[in-house]
Amino acid sequence: MAAKKACETFSKSLIEEVHRWGCLKQTGVSLRYMMEFGSKPTDKNLLISAQFLHKELAIRIARRAIELENLPYGLSQKPAVLKVRDWYVDSFRDLRAFPNIKNVNDEQDFTEMIKAIKVRHNNVVPTMALGVQQLKKRMDPKIVYEDLVEIHQFLDRFCMSRIGIRMLIGQHVELHNPNPPPHVVGYIHTKMSPVEVARNASEDARAICCREYGSAPDVHIYGDPDFTFPYVPAHLHLMVFELVKNSLRAVQERFMDSDKVAPPIRIIVADGIEDVTIKVSDEGGGIARSGLPKIFTYLYSTARNPLDEHSDLGIGDNVTMAGYGYGLPISRLYARYFGGDLQIISMEGYGTDAYLHLSRLGDSQEPLP
């Protein structure tokens, strides 16, 4: 299939408009602001939110569409990347075609439209992963992944922006829930228990481990289950799930043929003044020091790759123990999105400690790549 430039698929005027909007300034929002603004989801506030998103989403989506056109090493021409680029331009067109939002009916129609945009973009990450794989297949094997710094930096920007876009849409849509559970403001839980979220995420990861290996090491969680702070439970679940899944796989593979009982994974939740820190410790043999810089790249996974050209990317629950190598870099972006971070410390020959820092204050603005 010959690669199509955006201008061949879409009208010249639309592409010019994408470039015009891509030059406008983005506006970041903090967790605290989302929480305070969303605590009173009146018609007036929902109208203000929709008017803000009408412009802000168009700017953010336009920026990504432009960047998808100009990637190094011919990545922009890969069929999977062209598909993603088309999704972004389609979503930009939908936003620009929508008239100014003046009343409650407009706001409800707008909310349905951005819901559809969110669904359209559901498979962006696996599809981009497929595009990178299409690129890797045709590259000179002598090229070291570290040399592909531009691609790593692009994927960091791209995935961080996607987290922000999905958070803004999801938050607005959820504020329409007429009966929200107690302490829930859109996507945010104002009294989230990190111990409880860690327990749920660990159980989900163990279930997958059992499905793949027939058994799973225990997970022990230490921390005060009554301690709570405001955060997005879905984000924390995704991060802890990924870390525990990696630890379970490492321990399971290290002790699979051993007479010894597989040692448990330990999760420690600590609440500090600035940060809540969650440490995930395993005795899975660790990672060589030379391999550590690679674990946050998008082109590295120690496991076989479950993606292929013909796989149906629509299957959302088809989670394997070893993803397509994006789990750690994306988890770190989720942590950084609200001012936190993720660090991995390893002892080769023993095990790995992952430190997930979450900002308690909720004051930091979204990073806007």
Whole-angstrom distance, CA of residue 359 vs CA of residue 361: 6
The boundaries of the domain holding residue 50 are 9-183
Residue that finishes a domain, picked among 126, 154, 183 = 183
Whole-angstrom distance, CA of residue 301 vs CA of residue 297: 9
User: Bigger pLDDT: 363 or 335?
Assistant: 335
Q: Is residue 2 part of a domain?
A: no
Strand 188-192 to strand 229-231: parallel, antiparallel, or no bridges (unpaired)?
A: antiparallel
Question: Tokens 């329409």 identify what position?
Answer: 176
Q: What is the pLDDT of residues 107-140, one digit of tens each?
A: 999 999 999 999 999 999 999 988 988 888 877 6
Query: Which pLDDT value is given to residue 154?
Result: 92
Residue that finishes a domain, picked among 157, 183, 209 = 183
The helix/strand count (H/E) of the chain reads as 11, 8
Q: Is residue 366 part of a domain?
A: no
Query: Which pLDDT value is given to residue 136?
Result: 80
Residues 11, 13, 16: CA angle, nearest 5 degrees? 115
141/238 same-domain check: no
197/236 same-domain check: yes
In the chain the first and final C-alpha atoms are separated, in Å, by 32
Residue 89 sits in a domain whose CATH number is 1.20.140.20
* Maximum distance among all Cα pairs of the chain, rounded to whole angstroms: 69
Residue that finishes a domain, picked among 165, 183, 201 = 183
156/199 same-domain check: no
Cα dihedral 35, 36, 42, 47 sign:
negative
162/217 same-domain check: no
Q: Is residue 331 part of a domain?
A: yes
Query: Which pLDDT value is given to residue 1?
Result: 42
Whole-angstrom distance, CA of residue 191 vs CA of residue 226: 10
pTM as predicted: 0.90
